Structure formats: structure tokens, C-alpha cells
Amino acid sequence: MLDNGVAVIERSYNHQEIWCLVSRDLRDYYGEAIHRSWFSKIYFMECTTHNVVLSTPTNFIRDWVKSHYLTVILQFWQHYDQNIKVIELITKVLSTQEQELLSPNVGTQIVVESSSKQILGSDNSFANLDPRFTFENFVVGPPNELAYAAARAVAESRNVVVESNPLFLYGGVGLGKTHLMHAIAWYIRHHNPLRKVIYMSAEKFMYQFVKALRNKDVMSFKEEFRSVDVLMIDDIQFICGKDSTQEEFFHTFNALIDNNRQMVISCDRSPSDLDDIEDRIKSRLGWGLVADVHSTTYELRLGILESKLEQMNIHIPQDVIEFLAAKITSNVRELEGALNKVIAHSTLVNREVNLNNTQDILRDLLRSNERIITIEDIQRKIAERYNIKVSDMSSPRRVRSVARPRQLAMYLSKILTPKSLADIGKKFGKKDHTTVMHAIKKIEELCALDVEFREEVSTLTRILQS
């Protein structure tokens, strides 16, 4: 059909063709060596409404693929047929003739190549995408619902979402920014494959630009990045202080926006809080929608664990799930890693999963995960609480609406972190230690005189320590 003048290919695949595509995807994702060792001898056998049966030549290959790759195979398959719920592996030695008939390369090479070129562009960015990172696997809660809704809108639209261009996602490590970017790419790849998408880290963007300079082939670099429909750059803070890369990013940004192409950027802080980056770039990064991904709540962590267990089709006691959600608070990546470690230990040593075993298995992780509060944490929380910018913490502004929260942040930095007065002062715009001493004294005086203010300070302390 035609949509706004653009031809959109829509087709369904038979199950043999899907295995051809999945096999191709596995090779792109894991590389040729792993594909040759484990996937090249797997053949499609049959399919029912919800189950797919694949064959392997030996029990060893069957067991290894089942324990290491089965979840990924299922996720790849579901990109082409969401009805499939189970991938079953059987051992069956096929004759040479059967292997030739069932080969995943027979009769599909043209389809695979054309699909790859349409979707991936010349840099084959699909190989950089994690098949687990889809919208279906993203658990939504108050800390991330705006970022999720914006990412979904960008992915589902066949045209640029003007009010979200660029879409700027920011937040701490392991909170889901990269997951959302991969999800956008996956969605476009399977629902609007004629749109050319490039996803890469800012580090790789810089590497490719430097390589183009060295090879005196900057024009090819410009053509590559300025011809895409959707450009996604992860961890843009990496280009801070890299003047030549910033210059090229600035021109690439302008070219894409002027040509009505979508940009999605992620960062560990908001545009206004980026250091060592040109003001003109800061301004442009904030043109569209800036969506922050907050630290996870207990309820969200609980939902993430339950979703993960459902995907793995594994049951563990509820008190263990609640314990993990309460104790592993740093980020989602570490939370899922803790769950995987508990499950792996139970499987390998054949011990039941219970609270005592979990505490023993995660002893070192739990010790290192005890809340470590930083000055940056305090500044962000105070800025959010009093509706000011984080950058106001280090500014010379002396208006009461800024000065009082800044004094409170200095006070909390002294009582909640091991930093010296001089170190604290540096974090607040290179202020002298006497300024920090004055702020601490002022907050102590207010706490003594004002009960409500004292309760406010106590509440903020509990929030930061939770």
C-alpha cells in the first residue's frame, strides 16, 4: 500500500522462511564463528499455532543451545510471528538430502539481503541491537512513563514527531534509556522497514568521524549520516570536550532537522547540565522533548523482576523477589544480574531458591549495593524538590528561591557524604570552604527555629538514604 507517497512492503512469511530470517539475525548478532558452531546445523521441522520444533544433530548441541541461546531464538522468532510462545529443540540426525531441503539458505538469499539493506543501512546497525530490548519487555512505571510514551510515539509514527524532535532521553546508568532506543529501532525495523535507521554510541560516532578524516573520506561520512530517516545517538555526553566531533555533530543535527528527519539522543544528564559542550548544541538538544528517566521505585523494581521471571518461565518465592526489589536499588541492570545469579546458582548446585540462600549468594553484592550517596544525588534531589535547575547549584545567583535550596544541598552533602568542606565547595561552583560552613550554620539555625523546616530536612534525608 501507499502511505503519504511512500511504498510500504507488507508480507507474511511461512515458517521455513522465518527460520531463514532468524538464522540470519543470529549470525548478525553473535557473529560468524558462533553461528557456525551452534546454529548452522539447526533445522526447522514443524510448527503448530504456538510452538516451533527445531532439530539439532546431537544431544550436546541441543542442550547447549537450550541453556544458552533458546530465549534469544524465541525473541527473534517473535519479531516475525508473535503467536509463537515456545521453541522446542529435538535431536534428529538428518540425511544429506533432508539437510539440503531444509537448509536455512535455500531460496531465501535475495529476501534476506534486500531486507537487510532496506532496514539496516550500510553499517549493519542491527548487529548492535539487543533482541531483549523491545517495548514488550519494558516495564513501565511513574519514573519512566513519559520517556516510554515518547519513545513509543516516535517508533509508531511513519513521519517525524515534530514536538519530539529531537527526543532527548536522560537519566542515570542502567535505568532503561538504551532499552528504549533499541526498542524504537526494533519496532521500526519490523513495522516500517523502508525507514533507514542508524543507532550507535556517541563514541562510535566519533570513531567513524575520525576514521573518515584520516582516510580523507569525510563526504562519505556526511552522506551516510545525513541520508537516514532516524538517527539515534547513545550517551551523547561522550562528545563533551571533543571540539571537532561536536562541530560535525552540530552540522549533522541541523541537516537532519532541516530535512524533517527524526533524531533520538540519550545522555546521563539534561542538556542544560552538560559541561564542555557548545551552547549552540545545548540549545538544539533541548528543541524537542526532553524526557528524564528517574531512579526506580520499589514497585517498579518488583514489576521488572516479575516480568523477567515470566519471560524465563521460572518461579521463585515471593519473599525472595521482594527482598531483591528492596535491596538492589542502584539500577535495573544490576537488579537483573542479581536475579540471574540466584537462578544460575540454584540450577548449577541443585539448591532451592529461598531467602537464606539468596542472602548468602548475594552477600558481596548486597554489601557493595548499600546506599552510597553522592553530592550529585543530593543536588538533583534538591533541584527537583524545589523546582530549580541542577545548574543553579553551582551558579552565582543569590535570589532566595535558589540560595536556600543550595545551602540545604551543601548541608546534606556534609552530613550524608564523607566529603570535606573544600570538596563540597568545588561541587557548588568552586566556592570557598567558608561559604559551605556558612550554609551549614544557616541550615542548623533554621532547623532549631522552624519545626516544619526541620521536618522537611528530615524527610529529604530519609528519601536520599532510601
- Distance from C-alpha of 116 to C-alpha of 122, rounded to nearest angstrom: 9
Name 292's bridge partners.
170
C-alpha to C-alpha distance for 145 and 292, rounded to whole angstroms: 9
Cell match 560516532: residue? 205
Is 71 part of any known ligand binding site?
no
Find all residues with CB under 8 Å of 441, minimum gap 6, and list them: none
Residue 5 identity (one-letter amino acid) = G
How far is it, in rounded angstroms, from Cα 351 to Cα 227?
A: 55
At residue 328, what is the residue type? I
* CA-based radius of gyration for the chain: 26
Cis peptide leading into 166, omega within 30 of 0? Answer: yes
What is d(CA 177, CA 267) in angstroms, rounded to the nearest whole number? 8
CB-based contacts of 231, cutoff 8 Å, min separation 6: 198, 225, 252, 256, 261, 262, 263, 264
**Residue 141 annotated as binding site:** no
Closest CA to 24 of 92, 86, 104: 104
Alpha carbons 130 and 178: distance in angstroms, whole number = 10
Instruction: Provide the annotated binding site.
Output: 174, 176-178
Instruction: Provide the annotated binding site for ATP.
Output: 174, 176-178
